């Protein structure tokens, strides 16, 4: 008997941002935001290059002043990923930003100064052919909704989002992404779940102001994993205090752990205990190093003794169950060879190489779509 994990991605419409596609069955994209003032062009470009190097796929810059809007063209010219402008409070900044070569605009309609100003932003976005993110935030909901519900709860956030979507639709604007952010995990999760039941707009998900790592990463994972496992979320950001570069690894790790985007080998290792009879930490360190940079979606289990080793190794694609100074290598549940501790790492890596060839030949690897010029670089596993 075989078992397949039930998983359905929430069906959303596709929205183009620059040369990337968000929503539908396209990969969940990783986004971040720069920290220097946007008019400090060199610093901003340097940070975006570091984010790109880490794998960032969409980048947002804040535009609170005219000098920031004037910097957008220069920044856009020197980066390789879509540029998103983040606007709060001043609708005129949104209008100004759209006169520059950007790929998307993000506004919080709750603090933009009323419906008329919101409509002006929508009209300009439509004329420019720009997608727009409607970023509802629990902290800046309309007063009347807070009064109606008593506090900024998920139904109030969803009602706010649907209200702004109605207005956008009445203006003929459809290229919209929605976010419903809160720094409270329960509020954010519930808001996104409620919204997904009522709309097919793609969502940008995140736990806002998560704070300082490592707690902020754990908190973000607690909020994002339930959503991702429900099939919700089309772009993702982990908001960390300070340098944004570590946000990227954290986001990809969450996508990997929830099997929404598996882009590297997954190592399963036991925590070790008094039963350990080999240098497990040393072996893991060597394997990790030699797998660096690989995008093969192979699950490798390396366990220190016979208690759980053979069982876990059978569940992984490849596995080692170690004994005293030696071990057994499993492949798809079958023992393929017995090895000495000293040969273990080489032998495992040989099996990884064979596994890659066999999986590619069997057609189980697919190319991630919607990634513009990066489209051909990454292999995806069929979700098992
Ligand atoms: Fe201990 Fe063995 Fe479990 Fe590792 S697999 S933690 S060595 S009992």
pLDDT digits (tens, 9 = 90+) for 339-354: 999 999 999 999 999 9
Cα angle, residue 120 at apex, residues 203 and 41 outer, rounded to 5°? 70
> Cα separations (Å) of 189 from 9, 35, 213, 216, 263?
16, 26, 20, 16, 25
> Which pLDDT value is given to residue 306?
75
SS3 104: strand
* Residue located nearest, by CA, to atom 6 of ligand 1: 272
To the nearest 10°, report the CA torsion of 268, 269, 271, 276.
150
CB burial of residue 357 (10 Å; 0-12, 13-18, 19+): exposed
The single residue listed with the structure tokens 């059978």 is: 314
Domains of the chain, start order: 15-257 (3.20.20.20), 266-362 (3.30.413.10)
Residue nearest to atom 1 of ligand 1 (CA): 273
Cα(323) to ligand 1 centroid in Å equals 11
Distance 267 CA to ligand 1 centre (A): 15
The Cα-based distances of 119 to 27, 97, 144, 169, 305 in angstroms read 31, 16, 19, 11, 65
308 CB within 6 A, ligand 1: yes
In the sheet with 334-340, reading across from the earlier edge strand, the strands are 266-269, 299-303, 318-322, 326-331, 334-340
357 touches ligand 1 (CB under 6 Å) = no
Characterize the bridge pairing of strands 235-236 and 379-381.
Answer: unpaired
The predicted structure's pLDDT at residue 381: 44
Distance 46 CA to ligand 1 centre (A): 45
309 lines ligand 1 (CB under 6 A): yes
DSSP string, 119-181: HHHHHHHHHHT--EEEEEEGGG--HHHHHHHSSS-HHHHHHHHHHHHHHHHHTT---EEEEEE
* Residue 303 CB–ligand 1 contact under 6 Å: yes
* pLDDT < 70 regions, the chain: 1-2, 364-384
Alpha carbon of 384 to ligand 1 centroid (Å) = 26
CA 187 to ligand 1 center in whole angstroms: 39
How far apart CA 255 and CA 253 sit, in angstroms, is: 5
The structure tokens listed for 264 are 């590297």
Q: Tell me the CA–centroid distance for residue 62 and ligand 1, in Å.
A: 49
pLDDT of residue 380: 47
Question: Mind giving me the DSSP string for 258-308?
Answer: TTSS--S-EEEE----TT--S-HHHHHHHHHHHHTT-----EEEEESSTTT
pLDDT at 372: 55
State which ligand 1 atom lies nearest to the alpha carbon of 303: 5
Give which of 287, 278, 289, 284 is closest to 341, Cα–Cα.
Answer: 278
């Amino acid at each position: 008997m075989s078992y397949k994990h039930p998983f359905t991605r929430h069906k959303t419409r596709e929205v183009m941002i620059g040369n990337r596609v968000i929503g539908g069955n396209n990969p969940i994209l990783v986004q971040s935001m720069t920290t220097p003032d946007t008019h400090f062009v060199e610093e901003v470009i340097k940070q975006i290059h570091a984010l790109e190097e880490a794998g960032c796929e969409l980048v947002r810059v804040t535009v609170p002043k005219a000098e920031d809007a004037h910097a957008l063209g220069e920044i856009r010219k020197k980066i390789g990923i879509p540029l998103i402008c983040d606007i709060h409070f001043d609708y005129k900044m949104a209008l100004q930003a759209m006169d520059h070569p950007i790929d998307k605009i993000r506004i919080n309609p709750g603090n933009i100064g009323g419906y008329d100003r919101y409509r002006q932003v929508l009209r300009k976005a439509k004329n420019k052919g720009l997608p727009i993110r409607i970023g509802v935030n629990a902290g800046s909901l309309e007063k009347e909704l807070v009064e109606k519900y008593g506090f900024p709860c998920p139904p109030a956030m969803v009602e706010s989002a649907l209200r702004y979507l109605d207005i956008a639709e009445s203006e003929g604007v459809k290229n919209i992404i929605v976010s419903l952010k809160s720094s409270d995990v329960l509020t954010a999760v519930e808001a996104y779940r409620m919204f997904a039941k009522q709309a097919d707009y793609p969502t940008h998900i995140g736990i806002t102001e998560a704070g300082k790592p490592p707690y902020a990463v754990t908190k973000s994972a607690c909020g994002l994993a339930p959503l991702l496992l429900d099939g919700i979320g089309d772009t993702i950001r982990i908001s960390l205090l300070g340098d944004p570069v570590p946000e990227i690894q954290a986001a990809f790790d969450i996508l990997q752990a929830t099997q929404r985007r598996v882009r590297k080998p997954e190592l399963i290792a036991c925590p070790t205990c008094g039963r350990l009879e080999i240098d497990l930490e040393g072996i893991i360190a060597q394997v990790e190093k030699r797998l660096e940079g690989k995008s093969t979606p192979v699950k490798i289990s390396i366990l220190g003794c016979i208690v759980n080793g053979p069982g876990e190794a059978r569940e992984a694609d490849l596995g080692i169950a170690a004994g005293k100074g030696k071990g057994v290598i499993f492949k798809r549940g079958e023992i393929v060879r017995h090895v000495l501790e000293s040969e273990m790492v080489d032998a495992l890596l040989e099996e990884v190489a064979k596994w890659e060839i066999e999986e590619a030949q069997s057609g189980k690897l697919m190319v991630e779509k919607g990634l513009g010029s990066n489209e051909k670089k990454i292999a995806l596993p069929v979700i098992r």
